[in-house]
Structure 1
Amino acid sequence: MNDKPETAARPDAGSAIKPSETTEEGSSPSTTTGSFASEASPAGPSLFDRVLGLFRHRNGTSLREEIAGALAETASDAESFSPGERAMLNNILRLREVRVEDVMVPRADIEAVEITTKLGDLLGLFEQSGHSRMPVYSETLDDPRGMVHIRDVLAHITKVARVRKGRTTRKTAVATVLDLAQVDLACTIGDLNLIRPVLFVPPSMLASDLMGRMQTTRTQMALVIDEYGGTDGLVSLEDIVEMVVGDIEDEHDDDEPMITQAGEGVFIVDGKAEIDDVAKMIGEDFAAGEHGEYVDTIGGMIFNTLGRVPARGEVVQAIPGFEFHVLDADPRRVKRVRIVETLKGERRRRAARTEQA
């Protein structure tokens, strides 16, 4: 399998607007691009067309200023950016300001394996975590040795278990079966030589620079090391990409309910849950008010109230009569919230005091 990116097949925005290139009729590239966009997108220009248009009439201003100015406009016509497009472009502009420490998985949340872990136990850990890669350490996370990939584990098992049957000739393929009894599940990760290298980076490194290093070295995992040599966190290429496009979920991610009721007037809510869906679950007392004009999710509502991403454990009063307890959050977003209806909570406390009396 060739893992190298096929860059030759990808369109290059710069090559599409070279001034030296002309059409057969002598028209400029900008005219050709515009006519093509109008024919291919009769409903309106695409996001690519609109961003490409910013390359044309710069008038001495930087491309960053042009895009930032376009995003700041509040035009509501067909050529304005959609909310999703605005969010993605804003994230791209912010990417050069984001540090590794802003996107890393904190040390406490790292799922890793010890180098003396047996092969059988390793398979169970991969099954439980749902990850395809896990860091490997010796004794503590402050002594990292690299990472182990589930693909390498399966390749080792297949190689050891393969049994060839029949005579081999140039014209006939070798018939193979797998005898898993030949696989020694008691062997450790270190003995099997399955450990791949990882990158070691400081928390102050720019996320965009780390992404470049990952592409160059073809390594998708980095451990964040503090000034004393200890492990602070972990960053994957997916974490950086999610800064631009949002959460990326695959078929192995847990499909947990967005809203669950944990008791009378108590709800556990995912930060990505829609405000309207939460209101339907809780009832008419849950009135978003002006928040509904600016944001769509519970996480967005809390951010809109504070003007920042809250810390884990923080309590926010975003809607009268309700408390929002932040159960899980990182520097980028609110992940999980406990919503408590304060009126019902007060009734429960009064009832408890009455019973005690």
Structure 2
Amino acid sequence: MADIPDALLIGILIVLIIASAFFSGSETGMVAINRYRLRHLARHGHRGARRVEKLLSRTDRLLGVILIGNNFVNNYAATIAALLALAWFGNTGAAVAPIVFTIIMLIFAEVTPKTFAARKPESVAYPASLLLKPLLVLFAPLVWAVSGLSNGLLRLLGVREQPTGTDDLSPEELRTVVNEAGGLIPKRHQKMLLNILDLEKVTVEDIMIPRSEIIGIDIDADLNDILNLMRTSQHTRLPVYRSDPNNIIGILHLRKVSRLLMRPEVNKAELLQFSVEPYFVPEGTPLHKQLINFQNARRRQGVVVDEYGDVLGLITLEDILEEIVGEFTTDLAASSQDILLQEDGSYMVDGTAHLREINRSLHWSLPTDGPKTLNGLILEHLQNIPESSTSLRIEDYLIEVMQVKDNMVKTARLRRREANGH
């Protein structure tokens, strides 16, 4: 080495520092690259993405060749730096050289390339794969030996190799990705995606029409009353029951009997012939499963029943879709306001209003893990049927019972406590 000109040694040292920067940046770029964008580009024929995806399929081998190359050039560069320092400054230079060389390597071969690669991983990973791929073939025996020893040591420590594809996102992680998408996804589409993810947390009881509010045909009622209900109904499908909504015997599609209603004489037997067998839905069914069940059964309406077979309410396909896209119904009955803003800033709310609907309309967070309606929430909290003017506080919400009828809260005034406690 003493016969080698200093200029050549300096040139070799600069090349080695550049090579070290390449390996350091490649490592960070490969690790930091967005795997999901990478898969998308690879499926659409991006050559660089395909190369990187193939290299990342065996991360242990990729890191092996990068670290082998990085350690080799770093050690070789340190040796040359020590020789130059010894030749120029003697023993003093040999003592100072490690400090100076470490600073140079940190700046030019570690921090700068890794920071750049972390900010622009694709700009580093795609071109780097052109060189890493042949290096992986060239150093295959050495990489295989190093990877084997490393994996064996990990197994001794109780760390098992993970199969490919275990980096799938959980629903909560996917929700975080959607929330942080920013301008990449329009706000409305972002909200719809989050609503779809939330379907598994919501059951049919949360959005069903309760049995007390079911509008249906009592086949035992007077025929004229039945026909009048059918002519004035704003719903296209009506449940048919005998005496009590708990005894539903069919679902009648009014469009199918429109011609029948124009005849001067109609009998109940003809109405029953046009009705179809009811489709029953067990309570506790998550909305994402019920959406698929509706599709498989080719039905748009179901009767929610409990474990004893008693009717709890009605669930429709429209109700589930509105959980995703928001309210879109033009039904005048459905658009009746259960939540009325008062002059003092409070809200007058119907006791049968669903807590989810109140939260969604007012951007509140009333507890929904128990009762589904405001009446149920108040009764559970008080453990008895209150009298009018009874006031209570549930979390950050002040509630005043305004009207009680038939053992249930008909109307209540709600107000959210401000941060100052008022």
TM-score, normalized by length of structure 1? 0.51
Q: How do 1:170-249 and structure 2 match up within 5 A?
A: 180=262, 182-185=263-266, 187-188=267-268, 193-249=273-329
Instruction: State the secondary structure of the residue aligned to 1:141.
Output: coil
How far is 1:129 from its partner?
A: 4.5
**1:111 to 2:215 alignment:** yes
Higher percent of residues as strand:
1
Deviations 1:257-280 (A, max 9, x none): 67466x999863699xxxxxxxxx
* Counterpart for residue 301 of structure 1: 364
Q: How do 1:51-62 and structure 2 match up within 5 A?
A: 60-62=167-169
- Shift in alpha-carbon separation, 1:324–1:240, aligned structure 2, 3 A: farther
How far is 1:223 from its partner?
A: 0.8
CA distance in 2, matches of 1:143, 1:192: 14
CA distance in 2, matches of 1:319, 1:20: 50
* Counterpart for residue 148 of structure 1: 252
Counterpart AA for 2:324 = V
Query: Where in structure 2 are there 5+ consecutive unaligned residues?
Result: 1-38, 51-164, 352-357, 379-391, 404-410, 417-422
CA distance in 1, matches of 2:43, 2:269: 58
How far is 1:69 from its partner?
A: 2.2
Counterpart AA for 1:209 = K
How far is 1:148 from its partner?
A: 0.8
Of 175, 182, 188, the residue aligned with 1:68 is: 175
Deviations 1:15-48 (A, max 9, x none): x96966659xx9989xxxxxxxxxxxxxxxxxxx
How far is 1:123 from its partner?
A: 3.6
How far is 1:116 from its partner?
A: 3.4
How far is 1:121 from its partner?
A: 2.5
Taking only the aligned residue pairs, the percentage that are identical comes to 26
Aligned residues: 236
How far is 1:210 from its partner?
A: 2.0
- Shift in alpha-carbon separation, 1:264–1:299, aligned structure 2, 3 A: closer
The structure with the largest alpha-carbon Rg is 2
- Shift in alpha-carbon separation, 1:89–1:192, aligned structure 2, 3 A: closer
Q: 1:119·1:189 contact (CA, 8 Å) conserved in 2?
A: no
Q: 1:199·1:221 contact (CA, 8 Å) conserved in 2?
A: yes
RMSD: 4.5
* Counterpart for residue 374 of structure 2: 312
* Counterpart for residue 205 of structure 2: 101
* Counterpart for residue 4 of structure 2: none
- Shift in alpha-carbon separation, 1:87–1:309, aligned structure 2, 3 A: farther
Q: How do 1:254-293 and structure 2 match up within 5 A?
A: 256=336, 259=340, 268=348
Deviations 1:68-109 (A, max 9, x none): 222343x7x533652x44432222112123222222222222
Query: Where in structure 1 are there 5+ consecutive unaligned residues?
Result: 1-15, 30-57, 158-179, 272-294, 328-335, 342-357
How far is 1:142 from its partner?
A: 2.9
Of 391, 398, 413, the residue aligned with 1:338 is: 413
How far is 1:204 from its partner?
A: 2.2
Instruction: State the secondary structure of the residue aligned to 2:259.
Output: helix
Instruction: State the secondary structure of the residue aligned to 1:142.
Output: coil
* Counterpart for residue 225 of structure 2: 121
CA distance in 2, matches of 1:251, 1:307: 26
CA distance in 2, matches of 1:131, 1:323: 34
CA distance in 1, matches of 2:167, 2:348: 51
* Counterpart for residue 279 of structure 1: none
Higher percent of residues as helix:
2
- Shift in alpha-carbon separation, 1:87–1:212, aligned structure 2, 3 A: same
Of 222, 229, 237, the residue aligned with 1:133 is: 237
Q: 2:199·2:288 contact (CA, 8 Å) conserved in 1?
A: yes
Q: 2:41·2:49 contact (CA, 8 Å) conserved in 1?
A: no
Q: 1:200·1:224 contact (CA, 8 Å) conserved in 2?
A: yes
CA distance in 2, matches of 1:96, 1:265: 34
Counterpart AA for 1:78 = G
* Counterpart for residue 91 of structure 1: 195
Counterpart AA for 2:251 = M
CA distance in 2, matches of 1:323, 1:91: 28
Counterpart AA for 1:69 = T
How far is 1:117 from its partner?
A: 4.4
Counterpart AA for 1:143 = N
TM-score, normalized by length of structure 2? 0.44
Q: 2:248·2:278 contact (CA, 8 Å) conserved in 1?
A: no
